[in-house]
Amino acid sequence: MRERIDWKREGFIYCGDAPDGEVALSVIERVSPDIVITDIEMPFMNGLEVSRILKKNMPSVKVVVMSGHDEFRYVREALRYGVFEYCLKPISQAELLGILRKVASQIDAERQRMMELEIMKQRAESFIQVAREKLLRELCFGTTHAIDIGKSAAELNLDLAADRYMIMIIESHLDDEYHRGNRSGILKEICSLVQCRLTESFYFQMNADTVVWLVKGNCEQELTKRAEQFIHRDVPHVEIMLSCKLYVGVGGRKSRLDKIPSSYQEAVSDLSTHFARKAEKNGKNRFTIALKEFTQIDRNKLIAFIKSGKAVDVDAFVKQFIAPFKDTDWAQSFTGYHLCLDVLLTALPFIRETNTNSQLQDELILQLETSVTEITDYGAAFTFISELLGFVITRRDRKKHKNNHDLIAKAQNYIKLNYHGQELSLHLVADYVNVSPSYFSVLFSQFTGKSFTEYVTSIRLKRAKELLETSDAKTYEIAHMVGYQDPHYFSTIFKKSTGITAREFRKFMQQEG
């Protein structure tokens, strides 16, 4: 077989051969072939024993047995050992090649399946990682409920259960041109080294230089000790290994998941102080806004504007709101980033509330987070915050309009179903749609162009005309049927609306008919 077949031309590589089973096993182990062709009768160790050992130790190897025995017991034993093909001698060159091509085809198919499974596995792992990072991001930003976080974490096999939590933000500054050109790779190495030292932690990447870590532990003292050890012992080691500078912001230790946003804000504030100290150390102390002043930003005022402010007033509000930061050195301090991030975090719940498309919502939030990291001066901050608040208020008003439209539609439907009821009133309908009578009265007029009374009257008179034209009911009976207890009042309203009496209207319609 070795000499009579042009193996290369046929698409195979002839790896070697052996005179008996024992020698064959050592050759097979050394060259690791895809296919083994063996006889049954061999000295020292027969082909079936070789097949048994290969099935146990090298299950991917396909075995083709050639034998002069056609007894069923040999075939049965070969099948038990996973032999791919059992063929009887003598066998022609063409027959052997046909069997080998069949084996090769199965090997190719198995490898293709393995490759597809590996791709699917990688995609699944990538999806899980992205979903985990999204979950951690939402947890830090406070844009989802702790109950939902717990449920999602369980689905993603993310163990967040702990007695205490702490946020740490690590920002890397690279020292040389080579490392700056490989920021992504360096950040991965930093994350790998940090994770080895910050056990019981999870992270997500905020931007090209910044990573946010959620560290969990059993008690406040434990987390405090770990943070101190990491900053004083581990950070210098990582900096030396990767020729970079790390700045670390540490948040407070919290006992509940819903308090993590607070720890995140504290970590951002702590990180800000490092940039202030850096500026002072370099003789560039232009950090003119004290940190304690910054943390006293009136977020309630911002929230109130988001809830009830007008789109036309956005620029004026933003100008006043960020006026204290006009002289901040954006290049040397972290204040500008902190300011814009703080506004974004405040606006995020309103963005989520007014957006029902979760995929577009996530893309928008990621885009906004990226935009924050690119703000380098007061003008860019003014533009970012103005556009953000304008977007939120526009979406708020649009949703409010839709909600009001749905409310009026619900009220109109109720009126059409109950116009004949003498007890029908503005208060009754306002109570049905669950708003105050005064608010309902104004809203109803805005949407319909008519007062509540005018609208109900038009519905009742329209039905009265139909009954006058199609039935023999008396005028006073029709008055009762459309919701008027007093027939005389009905007649007065009818004539005022149409210019003629109900009787004249019926006579006219009969003549027209």
> Domain extents for the chain?
21-91, 286-394, 419-512
pLDDT at position 416 is 92
Q: Which amino acid is at 313?
A: D
Query: Given a cut of 50, is residue 334 above it in pLDDT?
Result: yes
pLDDT at position 429 is 92
Mean pLDDT of 130-139: 81
Mean pLDDT of 120-144: 77
Burial of 15 (0-12, 13-18, 19+ CB in 10 A): middle
Query: Considering the chain, what percentage of its residues have pLDDT values greater than 70?
Result: 85
Q: Domain 419-512 belongs to what topology?
A: Arc Repressor Mutant, subunit A (1.10.10)
pLDDT at position 124 is 72
pLDDT at position 278 is 52
Specify the pairing of strand 164-174 against strand 35-39.
unpaired
pLDDT at position 283 is 43
Query: Given a cut of 80, is residue 464 above it in pLDDT?
Result: yes
Give the predicted TM-score (pTM) of the model.
0.45
Q: Domain 21-91 belongs to what topology?
A: Rossmann fold (3.40.50)
Residue 203's closest CA among 248, 238, 145? 248
Name the pLDDT band for 354 (thresholds 50, 70, 90): low
Question: CA of 295: how far to CAs of 248, 268, 298, in Å?
Answer: 19, 11, 9
b/e map 117-143, b = 16+ CB within 10 Å: eeeeeeeeeeeeeeebebbbbbbbbbb
CA 283 – CA 276 distance, rounded (Å):
11
* Residues near 319 by beta carbon (within 8 Å), at least 6 away in sequence: 382
Query: Given a cut of 90, is residue 34 above it in pLDDT?
Result: yes
In 142-234, which ranges are continuous DSSP H helix?
Answer: 146-155, 177-180, 183-197, 220-229
pLDDT at position 150 is 75
Asked whether 205 and 133 are in contact (CB, 8 A), the reply is yes
Beta strands per DSSP E along 115-186: 164-174
pLDDT at position 472 is 87
Asked whether 22 and 45 are in contact (CB, 8 A), the reply is yes
CA 471 – CA 513 distance, rounded (Å):
13
Query: Given a cut of 60, is residue 444 above it in pLDDT?
Result: yes
Asked whether 355 and 400 are in contact (CB, 8 A), the reply is no
pLDDT at position 296 is 45
Q: Which amino acid is at 498?
A: T
Name the pLDDT band for 292 (thresholds 50, 70, 90): very low
Give the least confident one: 75-89, 468-482, 490-504.
75-89
Q: What is the DSSP letter of 38?
A: E
Query: Given a cut of 90, is residue 33 above it in pLDDT?
Result: yes
Q: Which residue has the tokens 């050195």?
A: 329
Residue 158's closest CA among 134, 122, 194? 134
Q: CA 201: distance to chain centroid?
A: 20
pLDDT at position 415 is 92
Query: Given a cut of 60, is residue 437 above it in pLDDT?
Result: yes
pLDDT at position 330 is 64
Name the pLDDT band for 412 (thresholds 50, 70, 90): very high
Asked whether 439 and 449 are in contact (CB, 8 A), the reply is no
**What is the SS3 assignment for 140?**
helix
- Chain segment 187-230, per-residue pLDDT in tens: 778 888 887 877 788 888 877 778 888 999 889 898 998 888 88
Beta strands per DSSP E along 218-371: 244-250
Name the pLDDT band for 288 (thresholds 50, 70, 90): very low
Give the least confident one: 37-46, 66-75, 116-125.
66-75
Mean pLDDT of 340-365: 68
Measure the N-to-C terminal CA separation of the chain; round to a whole number of Å.
106
